[in-house]
Chains A and B, each alone.
Chain A
C-alpha cells in the first residue's frame, strides 16, 4: 500500500486510483467504518472509507477548504465522539486539522495559529491524543516540543520549557499516551536518549 502502487479493486469494488507518493504517509482510524488517510501526489489529503462492501473516497483538503500539505508531512487522526480529526502540516509548517462532524460535513482549522504557537520544524513528527481535550504535539524549529490544546477554547504550551527537559533531537519521533489522569509525551533528546514529559494536572514535569 506504499510506493508508487495505485489502488485497485478493494472489497466490494473500490475505484479510487490515485497513485500515492513515493513515501506514502498513512494514518487510519475506526469510527464504525474503516478509514484510511494518505497524501496524494497533489499534496491533498485523501480518505478512503469502507462502508460495508463499498469503498468511497473523499478529497479531504478540498472538502475542508484547507491549504495543501507540506511534502513529507506527518499525518495523525482521531475520533472524538461524532467528530473526526485529520491533522497534517501545511507548506508553512503550520499544523492544520480537517474536522468532520456528522451532519455538518468538513471544516478546517489552522491549529498552530489558533493556539498561538510557533510553526513546526520541517519534517517534524505529529502526534495527537484525547484526554477529554483534543491535543496536538509537534516539534518546533527551536527543537522544543509544543502542544496545542482545544477544549472549546484554544491554548498552546511549550512542553520543553514547562517540563525542564532538554531540547529534542532534530526530527525526533514523538509519542504520547493517556494513562488514567496522567499524560506522557515522549521524544528523543540530542543524546538519543528517550525522554518523557509527564503531566498530572498540575503542570508538566520531567520524568526521569
Chain B
C-alpha cells in the first residue's frame, strides 16, 4: 500500500505543463487534489513514471459568476465551492452536488477540475457537468479549446482530452427560472460512491407543463448517461406520477449494460435507476412548482 517510485515536478505555468505532457505522453499523470489519484497510486493500480503537480500554477483557483454561469478554475478545491457565497446564492444545485462528495476532509484537498478530468462514472461532478451542458476549457500544444460535456466523457476514467492537454476551467450554467432539481443517490454509507445516482431538472412553463426536463444517470455505466428518450416523453405533459413512472421505466430500460460488480449486480442497478429516476422527477417537479 505504498506508491511505486515516480518522478515529481511542480511547474508554475501552463506552457510548462503542456511541454511536460508532450515529453512524457502516456507516462505522465496530472496531480491536482489527489483524492482519486493517490489511492490508485497507493494500491499500485496506476504506475505513472512522472507526476505533474498543477497546484503551484497561480490563477487556476477561482470561482466566479459570469453571465449565467459559474466559472470554476481547475484547481478550485471542492471545499471552496461548498463555502463560496456565490455558489450558495446563484447555484444551489452545484452546492447540493458538492455536499454529496465524500467528506469535508476529502473536499478540503479534492478539486472540481480533478474530479471532472478523472471522469469516474460514479462521481457527482461529471454527472452534473453532463446535466447542465457544462463547458470544459483545456489548454494544449495547439492552444485553448472549449469542449461541451456531451463530447467530453468518453468511457470509464477517460475523457476526450489529448494526452498533452490540461483542463483549466469548467463553466456550469445556472438553472433557468421555474426550474426545480433533484439529486437522488443510494449509498451504503454517507459519502460513499453511489451504487446508482440520478440528477434531474424540470422546467415548467406558465401553464405548469414541462418545457424542458433533463435526466442524468450515474454509477450505472462507463460514463454518466443522459436519458434523452425519457426526457422527450415528459416535454409538453403536465408532469405527475403517471409520467414519472413511465419516464423512469424508459430511462431504466434504455440503459445499455449497467455496471456489475461486488457492490451491486447489473439487474439491481437497473432497478435502482428506475426507482431513483421516479423520485428525482417527482422532487424536481415539486421544486419547480415552488419556484413558479
Partners in one complex: no
